[in-house]
Amino acid sequence: MEKVIDDGGLGRFRALIAAAQRIVVCGHVNPDGDAVGSALALQHWLQRQGKECTVVLPNTFPDFLLWMPGAKDVKAYRRHEAEVAPIIEQADLFVIADLNSPSRLMDIETLVMANPAPKVMIDHHMSPADFCDVTISHPEMCATAEVLCHLFWQLGELQQLAEAEAVCLYAGMMCDTGAFTYASTRAVIYECVSHLLARGIDKDRIYRNVYYTASLARLRLQGYMLYVNLRMRKNLHAAVMTLTNAERRRFGVKNGDTEGLVNMPLQISGTRLSIFLTEDTELEGLVKVSLRSVDDFPCNKMAEEFFGGGGHLNASGGKLYCSMDEALKVVDRALQKYAPLLKGQV
């Protein structure tokens, strides 16, 4: 296991936890498995310390994560502002999990930043902003859930974790690595997994809950996306898929039904990059962009340069304020700019 914070920082972290009573754990907008898993693991752990702790997210998370222990108690701010705002306003400590900038808090950024309570960041994204009293940031780690495993080890808590905490941590690591198929070559990751298995988790059941619990609508959508909406750019070793809101309505797509679709074209031999464009369900004129790659193709650089986003080497995202047709033109420009890298000529 590895130290994720120096002794002084660890002391400050302990002191902030000890002094707080009403703690809010926050995650990023459009929360994924790592954001939800990390936040819930922290909540369970803090509640065992006798703290009043609430997980508050800017909006809802995919339905396929509802099985996670405590997931049904998570507070989504969007559309529940009157209920959730007082929880944020009355907090005496914030733990910011799985995000590196207050802007990724989106709907709750103003409320969180207006509260003068201390803030702790625990994250694995690149370029962390300086807005927290304690920052525990490790971009080299596969998931925020992994950072938490090392933190709990430093605290002497890893071998005392409850099963619920271990389940949430394993799910977070699994989701952010595509079931340990990418960003997971460091040996210590599996040391973390070993510790979590020792806490009694059923990793096979967790895998089934995430990857093999699909609605009929998702399966039909999946076939449609691959047969109709998949555009292959074989000369560039790239794939592009699109999904409009009209198509969502046609297939009865629910929250989370599109999760993981961006990864599927990477199964096609020779494909190095997959881009998935989806119209936002709430804000007209916004197209969300997901990018996945293999080997050394830098998704994060393309996302930053063309889609106003960023992320990790092989998994990144961004957004465009335009129509789907205009978004496809931006994708074409991005592919042409990065053609040498996609063809392996650099």
Q: Tens digits of per-residue pLDDT, 307-344?
A: 998 888 898 999 999 999 999 999 999 999 999 999 87
Within this chain, do residues 284 and 205 fall inside the same structural domain, yes or no?
Answer: no
Query: Are residue 245 and residue 286 in the same domain, yes or no?
Result: yes
201 in the same domain as 120: yes
Structural domains counted in the chain: 2
Task: Judge whether 2 lies within some domain.
Answer: no
Instruction: Give Cα 169 distance to the centre of its chain.
Output: 13
Label residue 346 by pLDDT band (50, 70, 90).
low
Q: Which CATH number belongs to the domain containing residue 321 in this structure?
A: 3.10.310.30
Residue 198's CB: how many other CB atoms inside 10 A?
12
Residue 301 confidence (pLDDT) above 70: yes
Q: Which of 149, 182, 211 represents a domain boundary (last residue)? A: 211
Domain-located, residue 48:
yes
33 and 158 in a single domain? The answer is yes
302 lies in the same domain as 155: no
Is 275 part of a structural domain of the chain?
yes
Q: Residue 80: inside a domain, yes or no? A: yes
Among residues of the chain, what percentage have pLDDT more than 90? 86
The pLDDT, as a whole number, for residue 217 is 87
Gap between the Cα atoms of 241 and 258, Å rounded: 11
Question: d(Cα 12, Cα 2) in Å, to the nearest integer?
Answer: 19
Q: Which domain holds residue 336?
A: 216-342
Question: What's the average model confidence in pLDDT over 94-110?
Answer: 96
The domain boundary, picked from 176, 211, 246, lies at 211
Span 18-40, average pLDDT: 96
pTM, rounded to two decimals: 0.88
Q: Tell me, yes or no, whether 61 and 117 share the same domain.
A: yes
Average of per-residue pLDDT values in the chain: 94
**Is residue 126 in a domain?**
yes
Domain shared by 251 and 291, yes or no: yes
What would the DSSP string read from start to end of 79-125?
T-HHHHHHHHHT-SEEEEES-SSGGGGGGGHHHHHHS-S-EEEEE--
Q: Where are the beta strands (DSSP E) in 124-168?
A: 134-137
Q: For the domain that residue 128 is a member of, what is the CATH number?
A: 3.90.1640.10
In a domain, 1, yes or no: no
Q: Is residue 157 domain-shared with residue 255, that is, in the same domain?
A: no
- Whether residue 152 sits in one domain with residue 230: no
pLDDT band at 62 (very low <50, low <70, confident <90, very high): confident
- What are the residues whose beta carbons fall under 8 Å from the beta carbon of 102, sequence distance 6 or more? 109, 112, 113, 129, 131
207 lies in some domain: yes
225 and 204 co-located in one domain: no
Percentage of residues of the chain with pLDDT beyond 70: 99
Tell whether 222 and 143 lie within a shared domain.
no
Of 166, 191, 211, the last residue of a domain is: 211
- Picking from 334, 329, 325, 285, the residue whose alpha carbon sits closest to that of residue 305 is 334
289 in any annotated domain = yes
- Taking only the tens place, the pLDDT of each residue in 220-268 is 999 999 999 999 999 999 999 999 999 999 999 887 788 889 999 999 9
Residues 70 and 190 in one domain: yes
Type of residue numbered 133 = D
- pLDDT greater than 70 at residue 345: no
